[in-house]
């Protein structure tokens, strides 16, 4: 009777339960890992449920392990863009791939399948359309060859350990259309959630850690078997190690498996820290719905704490407990959100970044409010006076996100993950997203943002179709102010925020002032009133189009400061304050600092650092460099570097003034206006000095990942020479001259296909000439590299009687003093063997190497084995009144670091068999670069 009475009410719940069970993909895997071949044999039964409103004639599955299979995958191309050749040069045994044996349906009928356009996706053609609400069982039989961990940290390592992630077939997401993405080492697999069970057999010597629940396991001679289960999960991660590195921490809030350790923070102290973080996550997000959270060193290393905390452990500036907690917190938050908020990580990654980094900021504010960015270094004598030493730990978010903006390489937070340059993808965009949440927190109130994060997580965790729009609607439901600006401008664009105070007028009871919006980005701006260093008033102002007048009560302020707490990621804070104590007190004081510092907006910072240069005639020239460039780029820069020549007993050096203006994201993106001068010696007791006003423009494509750049330079170089009387008769040109130089170049600096060309025009009172250079490098599928360079030059007018301005085959005279010769006037000895590939580009020193009419040369090389290459140069040169002359040379090149350190060993040329010459050692040529700035570019190019 009771059953009949409640049956009408229970029936809908029963149907709802049945729908949920039947509406969930079911994934059953049996896998066996072969330790010898590094392969996993997999049998997978997949029950696909069509939860869409469309009939599906084909199903798509992610096969990201296949991204390592060849040199043409999206992963290989991404590596090339970041100047990583590891996957291109990999041996077959190091690659990963997937070999499909069969794919059959419920009736064990074979289904047609194919790979989609070399994507890491498999398309399975169904025999009939799968209607909405229907399901189908597919049986996959395949094996995967795991890649070496040197590529992305996943796969096998030489120690016999394994890191498995995105290793089996997972269903691609269908939402009106299929979302098909390649593996590009961005940690952003987008797949449908499934109820997954795995039966894995693996070697007996290994220890297993996973993000799934362990439901059973056995050991047997030669191996062991484990059963894993994960409901409402995306993917199973497994780490197999030779030693038991992972420990399990069971807290009131969640269970954690981790191998993260700090040097001194072990045992009970580590457990206390983990419990504290688990409580924090539970209070600020909500209950973790799964049985186990995996927090691994491997995951941390993919997105570490960038900055000072990456210093070697013996000079690490933070307390061990703080260091461990930040390391664990960042990794735990990332895993926590990835395992529960199923946003599209390729297109909506910014939501997870915003929540994650906001919680990082909040954790430090709540538990370590006095933590400095420089840690213990901030108390050291000699460093504690630096502005960086006074910065709070959380100020790094503004500093590193602004580093990108000041270089004009920032990208909108909504930019797809695979379209971000590496620095933005790893650091800047994530920090900007977290900083934006802190900005909202200050504007709306901390409680509202905290509540919106908790509400969003509670309502959307495990939702297979959560989106950024849901996040926006959640925050808007808690906001009592208009926040369209946050999503429409701060998130969706790369517009800069920049305000300035103007025209302060005082009365006895009020202050009237103008706030100017320098960039036109209509976002709220905060104003603080300070009395000495204490805040006595604070206001928020909105709706400032260009400029607006405001009046506030007077409360004893002696200074007004915009964005005083630096919660707003403002482009330029150097004009954010106005003093109320008169004109002279408003002038910023000078601050001299040894070495570079972070930007202090309240001082004129001048930096100085010892330097030392070298050339044969001046010797080692120590000196002092004086400049104003902080870690953040600024429009106007000066750089003065006087040095002392001990050999010549006089001052030498250089100086420059430069104003740089950035424009849009693409097209014409930068203009430079500069004036520079230098002085040094080109021979014993013979000085040269240059003065150069210049203007240049730069272009780049809309895709910032592209390494292509174009530039136009116009400069007027004046050269003044004081020549020693003893060699005056050897100089057959006027000592002083000026050259107007116009050059356009186009460079695509790709590691697989490098292309560069320029067109150069020069005009002076004595000559007019044109030159063209084309350089091409290609790394072939066979790993053979081919280098080709073509140069052509022609005098339109040449009224000189010497070869000083002539084209050269192997060692240009460098009359514009552009090339960094160690001994530019040397004709014998080791310094004369330095070669800088310019003009003719020949390596052998031939007779009559100059051309005062025209020159055409081609330089080529290809590798024989690794960095050992064979080179050859051919060309024609012509002097006025003579017939054109054919020239050639050949030899062996040791290409140790291209353009930075190379050796050339001539073999055969117009000189004959040079290798048989008894003075052969003097014929060897070398390329060497000792400029620290140039060498640093080798490492920074992959980031920017």
**Residue 420 belongs to a domain with what CATH number?**
1.10.390.10
Residue 188 buriedness (CB in 10 A; 0-12 / 13-18 / 19+): buried
Same domain, 292 and 409: no
Q: How far is CA 317 from CA 313, 314, 431, 637, in A?
A: 9, 9, 21, 31
The pLDDT-based confidence of 580 (bands split at 50, 70, 90) is: confident
What is the C-alpha to C-alpha distance for residues 379 and 389, in angstroms, rounded to an integer?
Answer: 8
- pLDDT given for residue 11 in this prediction: 36
Of 152-166, 186-200, 311-325, 826-840, the least confident? 311-325
pLDDT at 9: 35
Alpha helical stretches, state H, 304-343: 320-338
Here the tokens at position 59 are 């199903």
- Mean pLDDT calculated for residue range 33-57: 96
Note whether residue 671 is domain-resident: no
Residue 236 within any structural domain of the chain: no
Does residue 18 carry a pLDDT above 50?
no
Q: Which residue has the higher pLDDT, 803 or 315?
A: 803
Return the higher-pLDDT residue of 678 and 508: 678
Residue 701 reports pLDDT greater than 90: yes
Sheet holding 170-171, edge to edge: 113-115, 121-130, 56-62, 170-171
Tell me if residue 497 falls in helix, strand or coil.
Answer: coil
Q: How many CB atoms lie within 10 A of CB 570?
A: 23
Domain membership of residue 194 as a residue range: 23-82+95-216
Q: How far apart, in whole angstroms, are the C-alpha atoms of residue 894 and residue 871? A: 10
Judge whether 3 and 26 are in contact, CB under 8 Å: no
Q: In the chain, what's the furthest Cα-to-Cα distance? A: 124
Average the pLDDT over each of 247-261, 322-336, 570-584, 688-702 and give the range with the smallest value. Answer: 570-584
pLDDT tens-place string over residues 369-389? 999 998 888 888 888 888 889
φ, ψ for residue 373 (rounded to 5)?
Answer: -60, -40
DSSP conformation class of 428: I
Residue 494 pLDDT grade (very low, low, confident, very high; cuts 50, 70, 90) = very high
| 824 shares a domain with 762 | yes
CA distance 668 to 877: 38
457 touches 341 (CB < 8 A): yes
Question: Could you tell me how many helices (H) and strands (E) the chain has, helices first?
Answer: 14, 47
pLDDT in tens, 406-427: 999 999 999 999 999 999 999 9
CA distance 278 to 397: 23
Which of 463, 494, 525 is the C-terminal boundary of a domain? 494
Lowest-pLDDT choice from 10-19, 129-138, 448-457, 560-569: 10-19
The pLDDT of residue 733 is: 83
Tell me, what's the pLDDT at 16?
34
Q: How confident is the model at residue 934 (pLDDT cuts 50, 70, 90)?
A: low
Q: Which pLDDT belongs to residue 898? A: 76
What pLDDT shows up at residue 827? 86
Report the CATH number at residue 34. Answer: 2.60.40
pLDDT for the residue 736: 94
Per-residue pLDDT, 942: 73
Task: Classify residue 17: in a domain, yes or no.
Answer: no
* Residue 17's pLDDT band (cuts 50, 70, 90): very low
Could you give the percent of the chain with pLDDT greater than 90? 77
Same domain, 336 and 446: no
Domain boundary among the residues 587, 607, 637 is at 587
Confidence of residue 939 (pLDDT cuts 50, 70, 90): low
| Cα torsion 381, 386, 387, 393: sign | negative
pLDDT given at position 780: 87
Residues whose CB is less than 8 angstroms from the CB of residue 527 and which lie 6 or more positions away in sequence, other chains included = 501, 515, 538, 539, 540, 541, 550, 552, 560, 561, 562
Pair 183, 254 in one domain = no
Taking residues 128-132, report their average pLDDT. Answer: 95
Of 233, 285, 219, 688, nearest in space to 458 by CA: 285
Find the mean pLDDT for residues 111-137. 93
Same domain, yes or no: 170 and 38 = yes
Inform me whether the pLDDT recorded for 706 exceeds 60: yes
In tens, the pLDDT along 864-886 reads 988 899 999 999 999 999 999 99
Residue 934 falls within a domain, yes or no?
Answer: yes
pLDDT at 933 over 70: no
Please report which confidence band the pLDDT of residue 799 belongs to, taking 50, 70 and 90 as the band edges.
very high
β-strand 559-562 against 850-851: which pairing, if any? unpaired
Instruction: Indicate whether 280 and 387 sit together in one domain.
Output: no
Instruction: Assess whether 110 and 203 both reside in one domain.
Output: yes
3-state SS class at 98: strand
Strand pairing category for 603-615 and 589-594:
parallel
Closest CA to 440 of 528, 564, 569: 569
Q: What is the pLDDT of residue 155?
A: 97
- Burial of 671-694, coded b for 16+ CB within 10 Å and e otherwise, reads eeebebebbbbbbeebbbbbebeb
Between residues 327 and 933, which one has the greater pLDDT? 327
Whether 842 maps to a domain, the answer reads yes
Which pLDDT value is given to residue 480?
A: 92
Segment 276-291 mean pLDDT: 95
**For position 264, what pLDDT does the model report?**
58
Residue 11 domain-assigned (yes or no):
no
Shared domain for 534 and 555, answered yes or no, is: yes
Question: Which token pair is 69?
Answer: 């299979």
Are residue 428 and residue 483 in the same domain, yes or no? yes
Split into its structural domains, the chain has a count of 5
Q: Are residues 357 and 336 in the same domain?
A: no
For residue 20, what pLDDT is reported?
Answer: 39
Q: Does the residue 47 lie in any domain? A: yes
Average pLDDT, the chain: 91
Look at residues 587, 607, 628 and tell me which one is the last residue of a structural domain: 587
Tokens 């396991």 appear where? 217
Q: pLDDT over 70 for what percent of the chain? A: 94
Are 503 and 441 found together in one domain?
no
Is residue 266 pLDDT above 60, yes or no? no
pLDDT at 22 over 50: no
Instruction: Judge whether residue 311 has pLDDT over 90.
Output: no
Residue 469 maps to a domain: yes
Does residue 904 carry a pLDDT above 60? yes
Are both 489 and 458 inside the same structural domain?
A: yes
CA distances (Å), 779 to each of 73, 787, 788, 905, in order? 15, 9, 12, 23
């Amino acid at each position: 009777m009771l059953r009949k009475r409640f049956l009408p009410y229970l029936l809908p719940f029963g149907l709802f339960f049945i729908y949920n069970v039947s509406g969930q993909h079911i994934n059953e895997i049996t896998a066996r890992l072969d330790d010898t071949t590094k392969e996993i044999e997999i049998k997978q039964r997949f029950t696909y449920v069509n939860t869409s409103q469309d009939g599906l004639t084909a199903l798509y599955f992610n096969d990201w392990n296949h991204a390592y299979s060849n040199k043409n995958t999206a992963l290989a191309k991404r590596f090339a863009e970041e100047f990583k050749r590891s996957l291109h040069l990999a041996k077959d045994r190091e690659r990963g791939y997937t070999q499909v044996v069969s794919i059959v349906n419920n009736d064990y009928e074979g289904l047609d399948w194919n790979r989609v356009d070399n994507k890491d996706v498999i398309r399975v053609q169904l025999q009939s359309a799968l209607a909405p609400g229907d399901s189908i069982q597919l049986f996959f039989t395949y094996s995967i060859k795991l890649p070496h961990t040197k590529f992305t940290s996943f796969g096998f390592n030489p120690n016999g350990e394994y890191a498995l992630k995105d290793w089996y077939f997972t269903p691609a997401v269908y939402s009106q259309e299929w979302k098909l993405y390649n593996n590009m080492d961005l940690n952003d697999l987008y797949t449908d959630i499934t109820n997954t069970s795995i039966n894995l057999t693996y070697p007996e010597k290994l220890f297993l850690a996973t993000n799934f629940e362990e439901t059973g396991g056995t050991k047997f001679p030669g191996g062991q078997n484990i059963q894993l289960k994960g409901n409402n999960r995306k993917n199973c991660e497994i780490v197999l190690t030779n030693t038991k590195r992972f420990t399990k921490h069971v807290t009131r809030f969640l269970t954690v498996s981790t191998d993260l350790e700090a040097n001194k923070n072990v045992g009970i102290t580590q457990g206390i820290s983990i419990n504290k973080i688990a409580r924090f996550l539970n209070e600020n997000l909500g209950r973790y719905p799964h049985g186990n959270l995996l927090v691994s060193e491997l995951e941390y290393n993919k997105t570490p704490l960038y900055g000072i905390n990456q210093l070697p452990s013996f000079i690490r500036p933070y307390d061990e407990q703080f260091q461990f907690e930040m390391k664990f917190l960042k990794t735990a938050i990332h895993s926590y959100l990835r395992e529960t908020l199923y946003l599209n990580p390729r297109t909506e990654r910014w939501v997870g970044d915003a929540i994650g980094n906001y919680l990082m900021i909040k954790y430090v504010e709540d538990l370590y409010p006095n933590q400095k960015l420089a840690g213990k270094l901030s108390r050291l004598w000699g460093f504690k006076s630096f502005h960086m030493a006074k910065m709070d730990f959380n100020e790094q978010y503004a500093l590193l996100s602004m580093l990108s903006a000041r270089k004009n390489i920032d990208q909108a937070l909504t930019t797809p993950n695979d379209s971000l340059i590496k620095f933005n993808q790893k650091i800047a965009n994530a920090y900007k997203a977290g900083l934006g949440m802190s900005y909202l927190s200050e504007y709306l109130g901390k409680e509202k943002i905290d509540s919106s994060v908790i509400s969003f997580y509670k309502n959307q965790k495990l939702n297979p179709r959560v989106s950024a729009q849901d996040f926006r609607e959640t925050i808007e439901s808690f906001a009592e102010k208009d926040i369209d600006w946050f999503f429409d401008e701060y998130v969706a664009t790369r517009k800069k925020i920049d305000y300035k105070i103007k025209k302060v007028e005082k009365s006895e009871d009020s202050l009237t002032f103008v706030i100017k919006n320098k960039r036109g980005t209509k976002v709220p701006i905060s104003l603080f009133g300070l009395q000495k260093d204490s805040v006595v008033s604070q206001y928020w102002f909105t709706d400032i189009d260009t400029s607006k007048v405001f009046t506030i009560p007077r409360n004893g302020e002696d200074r007004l400061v915009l964005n005083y707490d630096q919660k707003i990621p403002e482009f330029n804070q150097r004009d954010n304050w106005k003093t109320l104590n008169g004109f002279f007190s408003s002038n910023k004081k000078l601050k001299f600092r040894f070495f570079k510092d972070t930007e202090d907006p309240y001082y004129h910072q001048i930096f100085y650092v010892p330097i030392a240069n070298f050339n044969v005639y001046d010797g080692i020239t120590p000196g002092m460099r004086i400049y104003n460039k902080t870690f953040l780029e600024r429009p106007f820069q000066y750089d003065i570097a006087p040095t002392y020549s001990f050999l010549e007993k006089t001052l030498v050096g250089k100086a420059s003034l430069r104003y740089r203006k950035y424009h849009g994201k693409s097209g014409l993106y930068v203009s430079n206006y500069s004036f520079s001068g230098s002085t040094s010696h080109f021979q014993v007791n013979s000085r040269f000095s240059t003065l150069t006003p210049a203007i240049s423009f730069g272009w780049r494509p809309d895709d910032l990942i592209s390494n292509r750049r174009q530039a136009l330079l116009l400069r007027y170089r004046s050269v003044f020479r004081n020549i020693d009387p003893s060699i005056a008769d050897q100089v057959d040109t006027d000592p002083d001259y000026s050259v107007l130089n116009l050059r356009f170049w186009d460079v695509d600096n790709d590691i697989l296909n490098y292309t560069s060309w320029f067109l150069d025009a020069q005009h002076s009172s004595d000559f007019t000439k044109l030159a063209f250079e084309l350089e091409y490098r290609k790394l072939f599928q066979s790993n053979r590299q081919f280098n080709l360079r073509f140069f052509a030059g022609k005098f339109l007018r040449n009224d000189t009687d010497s070869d000083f301005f002539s084209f050269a085959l192997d060692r240009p005279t460098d009359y514009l003093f552009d090339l960094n010769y160690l001994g530019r006037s040397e004709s014998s000895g080791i310094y004369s063997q330095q070669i800088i590939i310019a003009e003719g580009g020949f390596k052998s020193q031939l007779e009559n190497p100059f051309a005062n009419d025209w020159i055409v040369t081609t330089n080529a090389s290809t590798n024989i084995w690794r960095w050992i290459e064979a080179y050859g140069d051919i060309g024609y040169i012509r002097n006025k009144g003579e017939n054109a002359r054919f020239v050639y040379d050949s030899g062996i090149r040791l290409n140790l670091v291209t353009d930075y350190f190379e050796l050339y060993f001539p073999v055969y040329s117009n000189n004959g068999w040079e290798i048989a010459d008894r003075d052969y050692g003097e014929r060897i040529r070398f390329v060497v670069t000792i400029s620290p700035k140039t060498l640093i570019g080798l490492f920074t190019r992959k980031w920017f």
